[in-house]
């Protein structure tokens, strides 16, 4: 069963869905909190994952990141701005919301993320001990590496100059500079200038997620550049951590994620899924990634059932 939900995140109202598994909730269900990656909204396949989890007895809190989809931006802040640390704090607000429900067991909370939010849940697992299991799918583990991979080296200087100019304009009360998330021509400026990004975002926006907008603030890319979730991987233990990697991922460097996994401390598990970054959401890739996360949460959250 799915219901629409909303909850406060220090002045921003976040909206999403709560999935309740069938069956008796005596003592409350274990619950997984879930949000999407860079600019994506919940309709871009998070419902598919939540349905798999709920069928296994896991409740789910699925929400849009602040300023995206159905969720509000904080007062005085622009929409379409991606601040990774704000998004991590919003995961914490989602956990608090889940724990406030009578049909959730407050002591059995898991965190799932994909791509950008795959990195978020590793930070979350290291700093918030309410989280009892973590699964990150095709995770971004280094914003610096992401920036260097996605922005041509001869454009680094002009990009840094644009960051500085945007900060000055915003300080004067001007509007934030914006840029496309994806573009059909990968030589043109975009936050995610890869052909598979363009295909996935435009197709899912057309078929599933009309609320998705092909723009983010320029500052979103500046904030990406300074974000290093891999530093938190060794700090997650003793919370169980899973990484689902697509080795052919050319958007966030699958091999870098796999190398970062080696720095995590047990209990941990790595799962290799076929294809590239967006293959995780569909076809055989979805079957593998959703089942891996489901089994991880069932193992580590259901085991503590009262």
200 lies in some domain: no
CATH of the domain at 45: 3.40.50.1820
152 lies in some domain: no
Contact between residue 139 and residue 115 where contact means Cβ atoms under 8 Å apart: yes
* Cα–Cα dist 74/214, whole Å: 20
pTM, two decimal places: 0.97
Give the pLDDT of residue 305.
54
* Cα–Cα dist 33/274, whole Å: 25
- Average pLDDT in the chain: 96
Number of domains making up the chain: 1
Chain segment 98-150, per-residue pLDDT in tens: 999 999 999 999 999 999 999 999 999 999 999 999 999 999 999 999 999 99
Cis (ω within 30 of 0) for the bond into 79?
Answer: no
Query: How many residues does this entry show for the chain?
Result: 306
205 lies in some domain: no
Q: What's the rounded mean pLDDT across residues 17-36?
A: 92
263 lies in some domain: yes
Give the pLDDT of residue 186.
87
Longest alpha-carbon distance in the chain: 60
Which of 98, 99, 146 has the alpha carbon at shortest distance from 118?
Answer: 146
User: What does each C-alpha distance from 145 to 135, 154, 166, 260 come to in angstroms?
Assistant: 22, 16, 22, 12
DSSP secondary structure letter of residue 177 = P
User: What does each C-alpha distance from 160 to 141, 212, 219, 258 come to in angstroms?
Assistant: 22, 27, 11, 29
25 lies in some domain: yes
22 lies in some domain: yes
Neighbours of 202 (CB within 10 A): 15
Which of 255, 246, 236, 298 has the alpha carbon at shortest distance from 274?
Answer: 246
* Cα–Cα dist 79/175, whole Å: 11
Token pair in block for residue 290? 């959703």
* Cα–Cα dist 271/293, whole Å: 9
161 lies in some domain: no
Chain segment 145-202, per-residue pLDDT in tens: 999 999 999 999 999 999 999 999 999 999 999 999 999 998 899 999 999 999 999 9
Give the pLDDT of residue 25.
75
Q: Which domain holds residue 239?
A: 2-141+230-304
Token pair in block for residue 123? 């930070």
Spell 165-177 as b/e; 16+ CB within 10 A means b. Answer: ebeeebeeeeebb
Give the pLDDT of residue 306.
43
49 lies in some domain: yes
What are the φ/ψ torsions at residue 264 (nearest 5 degrees)?
A: -70, 155
Chain segment 58-84, per-residue pLDDT in tens: 999 999 999 999 999 999 999 999 999
Give the pLDDT of residue 303.
63
Given pLDDT bands bounded at 50, 70 and 90, which one contains residue 55?
very high
| In the predicted structure, residue 304 carries a pLDDT above the cut 60 | no
């Amino acid at each position: 069963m799915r219901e629409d939900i909303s909850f406060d995140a220090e002045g921003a109202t976040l909206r999403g869905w709560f999935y309740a598994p069938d069956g008796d909730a005596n003592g409350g269900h274990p619950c997984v909190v879930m949000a999407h990656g860079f600019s994506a909204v919940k309709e871009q396949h998070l419902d598919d994952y939540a349905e798999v989890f709920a069928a296994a007895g896991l409740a789910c809190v699925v929400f849009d990141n602040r300023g995206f989809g159905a969720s509000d931006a904080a007062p005085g802040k622009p929409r379409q701005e991606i601040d990774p640390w704000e998004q991590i704090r919003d995961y914490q607000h989602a956990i608090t919301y889940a724990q406030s429900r009578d049909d959730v067991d407050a002591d059995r909370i898991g965190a799932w993320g994909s791509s950008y939010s795959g990195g978020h849940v590793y930070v979350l697992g290291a700093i918030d001990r309410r989280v009892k299991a973590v699964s990150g799918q095709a995770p971004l583990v280094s914003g610096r590496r992401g920036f260097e991979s996605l922005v041509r080296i001869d454009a680094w200087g002009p990009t840094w100059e644009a960051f500085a100019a945007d900060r000055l304009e915003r300080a004067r009360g001007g509007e934030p500079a914006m840029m496309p998330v994806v573009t059909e021509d990968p030589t043109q400026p975009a936050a995610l200038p890869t052909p598979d990004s363009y295909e996935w975002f435009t197709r899912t926006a057309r078929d599933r997620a009309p609320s998705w907008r092909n723009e983010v603030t320029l500052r979103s890319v500046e904030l990406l550049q300074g974000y290093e979730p891999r530093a938190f991987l060794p700090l997650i233990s003793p919370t169980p951590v899973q990484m689902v990697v697509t080795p052919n991922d050319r958007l966030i460097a699958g091999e870098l994620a796999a190398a970062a996994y080696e720095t995590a401390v047990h209990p941990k598990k790595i799962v290799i899924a076929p294809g590239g970054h967006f293959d995780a959401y569909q076809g055989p890739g979805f079957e593998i990634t959703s089942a891996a996360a489901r089994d991880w949460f069932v193992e580590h959250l259901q085991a503590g059932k009262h």
